[in-house]
């Protein structure tokens, strides 16, 4: 009986560590990167480039490339989910509360909801359906406008508003949120 309890305890500890450690390590790493001069805005902009590249590849893939489309879609969904969680839980509340840009924050949340609807449509549509690439195009167009708003307006606004200590803390929080999507 003791052996079974030890195994169960070890399994529980391993499960707990596997769920708790990645976000904690990511938060420390994000804060360290920000302290060294690379902030969360740069990481989010890098995500934007990867997401748009995946969408471009999805949009231009042939209908017969079912496996390739599936792989691209899964990569997009995971990257976009982690990215959106970080923005929704860290960046947009800062816009809403610290920058007093309530309508801008709500607009960005709304665009994320539209993206989720299109992601769901991509997931439900057969990968060999000719309409699949059109949905990917609609998602890319929505994200391009969203990215422009963030990179040209909202991120510079927050960079100007936040002090160095706040940016370091925010960078850690962004990395922690992204790490929660495993």
Close Cβ partners of 88 (under 8 Å, ≥ 6 residues apart): 109, 112
Q: What is the CATH architecture assignment of 2-179?
A: Up-down Bundle (1.20)
For residue 26, the model assigns a pLDDT of 47
For residue 39, the model assigns a pLDDT of 82
Cα gap 22→175, rounded to integer Å: 10
Contact 108/9 with Cβ under 8 angstroms?
Answer: no
DSSP state of 137: H
For residue 176, the model assigns a pLDDT of 92
pTM of structure: 0.81
Lowest mean pLDDT among 36-50, 64-78, 115-129: 36-50
On the question of pLDDT at 109 being above 50, the answer is yes
Q: What mean pLDDT do residues 103-124 have? A: 97
The model's confidence at residue 23, banded by pLDDT at 50, 70 and 90, is: low
Largest CA distance in the chain: 62
Cα gap 63→163, rounded to integer Å: 49
Structure tokens at 39: 């902030």
Cα gap 168→174, rounded to integer Å: 10
For residue 52, the model assigns a pLDDT of 98
Close Cβ partners of 25 (under 8 Å, ≥ 6 residues apart): 179
Share of the chain above pLDDT 70, in %: 79
Give 32-70 pLDDT, tens digit per residue.
555 555 689 999 999 999 999 999 999 999 999 999 999
């Amino acid at each position: 009986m003791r052996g079974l309890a030890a195994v169960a305890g070890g399994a529980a500890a391993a499960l707990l560590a596997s769920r708790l450690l990645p976000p904690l390590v990511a938060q420390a790493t994000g804060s360290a990167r920000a302290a060294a001069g690379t902030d969360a805005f740069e990481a989010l902009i890098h995500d934007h480039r990867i997401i748009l590249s995946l969408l471009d590849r999805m949009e231009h893939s042939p209908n017969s490339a079912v496996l390739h489309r599936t792989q691209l879609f899964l990569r997009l969904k995971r990257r976009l989910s982690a990215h959106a969680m970080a923005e929704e839980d860290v960046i947009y509340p800062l816009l809403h509360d610290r920058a007093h840009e309530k309508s801008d924050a709500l607009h960005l949340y709304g665009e994320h909801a539209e993206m989720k609807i299109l992601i769901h449509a991509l997931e439900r549509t057969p990968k060999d359906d000719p309409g699949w690439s059109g949905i990917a195009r609609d998602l890319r167009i929505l994200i391009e406008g969203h990215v422009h708003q963030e990179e040209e307006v909202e991120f510079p606004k927050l960079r100007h508003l936040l002090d160095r200590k706040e940016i370091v803390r925010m960078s850690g929080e962004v990395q922690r949120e992204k790490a929660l999507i495993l």
